[in-house]
Structure 1
Amino acid sequence: MKVNGLQAELQAMKLEASNANKPASAQQVSEDFGALLGNAIKNVNGLQSQSSELATRFDQGDRSVSLSDVMIARNKSSVAFEATVQVRNKMVEAYKELMNMPV
């Protein structure tokens, strides 16, 4: 499951951040965050593609794909998508809060 991979990446980043001796530049932080966000979106896209492929194979009568496989894949992709939407909402909220701060 791709969520475990994302969790491992986040833990690795946490460890890397705690072991960093020199402060990172703003550009480096934004590039790292951008890469992490891009990878997370690619993982969600992969889960949705896999779910769609399994559903199509099941609909076509492929005996190697069971209904439970299709439902599990669909639920995984749904949970991953909902998590992505929630992260996006929090990011938009934080952006609006920053833009409303007096300078």
Structure 2
Amino acid sequence: MTDAISSILSQIRAHELQTRGPLAEAPAGNAIDVGGAGRLGGGSTVAAPGFGHTLANAIDKVSQTQANAGSLQQAFELGDPRADLARVMVAMQQSQVAFRATVEVRNRLVQAYQDVMNMPI
């Protein structure tokens, strides 16, 4: 299950890089760039998307994947010749994996929240 989480994190990072554009400098690997996030050579700052924005985009992508799989399934059931069984099954599996990964990320976030809330002061 760790590989699945690593895969999702790499997809989120790739999506974040796409959102920033080609001129943004990304921190290397797992580094967190606190002070200079999104700085360009001229010293001006570019507003980098936050965690909430990135999470919302990832959830929207899962929703789009599920909608795509549903529309392919419906087209197959209606006899559309462009919707072959293999494409429908692959789309359904992609949708299922994306949803499971989203649920797993949610479970991890809830667990982290509970751990923080249970910390002694």
- TM-score past 0.5 threshold: yes
Flag the structure with more relative contact order, 1 or 2, with Cα contacts below 8 A and sequence separation at least 6: 1
Q: Which runs of 5+ in 2 are unaligned?
A: 1-7, 38-46
Q: Distance in 2 between matches of 1:19 and 1:91?
A: 18
Query: Quick one: which of 43, 48, 58 aligns to 2:66?
Result: 48
Match of 2:85, as an amino acid?
A: L
Change (3 A) 1:56 1:34: same
Q: Which runs of 5+ in 1 are unaligned?
A: none
What residue number does 1:16 align with? 26
Structure 1 residue runs of 4+, over 6 Å off? none
RMSD of aligned residue pairs (Cα, Å)? 2.9
Matched ranges for 1:1-103 at <5 A: 6-9=12-15, 12=17, 16-17=26-27, 18=31, 20=33, 22=35, 32-103=50-121
Offset at residue 19 of structure 1 (A): 8.4
Report the identity percentage. 37
Q: CA-to-partner distance for each residue in 1:49-101, whole Å, 9 max, x for gaps?
A: 00000000000000111000000000000000000000000000000000000
Offset at residue 16 of structure 1 (A): 2.3
Q: Distance in 2 between matches of 1:77 and 1:69?
A: 12
Q: CA-to-partner distance for each residue in 1:16-44, whole Å, 9 max, x for gaps?
A: 245847266xxx89x60000100000000
Change (3 A) 1:100 1:16: same
Aligned residue pairs: how many?
95
Match of 1:95, as an amino acid?
A: Y
Q: Distance in 2 between matches of 1:21 and 1:46?
A: 32
TM-score, scaled to structure 1: 0.78
